Amino acid sequence: MTPIFAVSRLPRTLVFGAGQRAALPGYAATLGRKALVVTDERLAADQQFLDLMQALEAAHVEIAVFSGTIAELPASCILQGLDAGKTFGADLVIGIGGGSCLDAAKIIALLLSHGGAPSDYYGEFKVPGPILPLIAIPTTSGTGSEVTPVAVVSDPDRAVKVGIASPHLIPHTAICDPELTYSSPTGLTAFSGADALTHAIEAFTNLRRSVEANTVHEHVFVGKNAFSDQHALEAIRLVSGSLETACRDGSDVLARNNLMMGSTLAGLAFGTAGTAAAHAVQYPVGALTHTPHGMGVAVMLPFVMAFNKSHAEPEMAQIADAMGVGDGLSQAARADAAIDAVTDLLSAIGIPGSLRDLGIAEDQLGWIAEAALGATRLVKNNPRPLDPASMTLLVNAAFVGDRTAVRRSA
């Protein structure tokens, strides 16, 4: 019998519910007096955002809005936000928006506290101590960044995006208000929701490490554990049951609420367990195609599941149970049903079926496999070992859209 091992790293306050954005001034007023609000240009002009800014000022919190966040988060926009925070003398950072806005807020709060450049903190456990108080308010249901210890940035000196991972990056307060997602367009809903599903499935099927006394000090992402499993399975149930409906009818309140709850739970799951091969491959694919992160990981997900089935069959059978498919079948057949159900769901919301459909050329596959293996914090989590030969096999199968190729090799 495997001993129970569980790790949970959370915001100090995590509040979820329609209309809960109105709680922001009360939380902000206890944490600081001069808040740098990090968002993007579109959100900065939104009436809901403007109402929140007025409410902060009414609570005697001075604000400076930095609206220069750009999708995929180039390092240049982080430095612009850092300059805005220094000039203003911020003692509090509030991130409002999608994953890029929340990641930008994390890194800006880090640099305001400890100085230096983003590159000084790449990797795990490089952040020397607490950062400025940080409040995160997501407006999409996908990244889970409001509860995770990682921020990802595009560095012009590197071919692929790179992460900063530290428990110190977990926001002090996260406010998840699904009403902020009701106007999200279909494409954004699909890509971000697919990202959340990938987070949950990879967290649940990740390698379970042998545990030592220093495991939690040596790994930000400790692998599959009892707490992450509970969050991941519920996230899979909620996201798989709501994503297609939310894409088809954005006004469906129940679907929007369940999708955001699933996204947050998926963030809690991978925030300790980590992600794996689908995310490792997306980094070079995203660098080449400039396609949304959620689209890239979702394209890879069915192929990664098929590749990993031989090493995570019991977990995939449980995924089938959470998705409500394969009832009464054997464990192996339920695992196959889970992979088929994920594939069908992603197809239904418009996710392409292969890397070739994303615009990847065959002569780029070698570099993609090599670069993906370089994402060691992700590769080490995969339940089936990855080496140059197996990564090449996985990438080639995803390029042609043939899941059977990776199964034959298991």
Helices 388-400 and 365-373, packing angle to 10 deg:
130
Contacts of 256 (CB under 8 A, 6+ apart): 141, 178, 181, 182, 242, 246, 250
The pTM score is 0.96
Q: What is the pLDDT of residue 156?
A: 84
pLDDT in the model for residue 224: 95
Write the CB contacts of 229 (distance below 8 Å, at least 6 apart in sequence). Answer: 204, 269
Predicted pLDDT at 100: 95
For residues 398 and 354, the answer to whether their CB atoms sit within 8 Å is yes
Q: HSE (CB half, 13 Å, CA atoms) of 83?
A: 8
Other CB atoms within 10 A of residue 174 CB: 28
CA 399, 403, 408, 410: dihedral to nearest 10 degrees?
90
> What was the pLDDT predicted at 388?
96
pLDDT at residue number 104: 97
Q: What pLDDT score does 408 carry?
A: 57
The pLDDT of residue 71 is: 86
pLDDT of residue 406: 86
Q: Please give the helix or strand (H or E) that residue 377 lies within, else none.
A: helix 376-379
Cβ-based neighbour number of residue 236 at 10 Å: 29
How do 150-153 and 162-165 pair as beta strands?
Answer: antiparallel
What is the C-alpha to C-alpha distance for residues 80 and 92, in angstroms, rounded to an integer? 17
Q: Which portions of the chain are predicted below pLDDT 50?
A: none
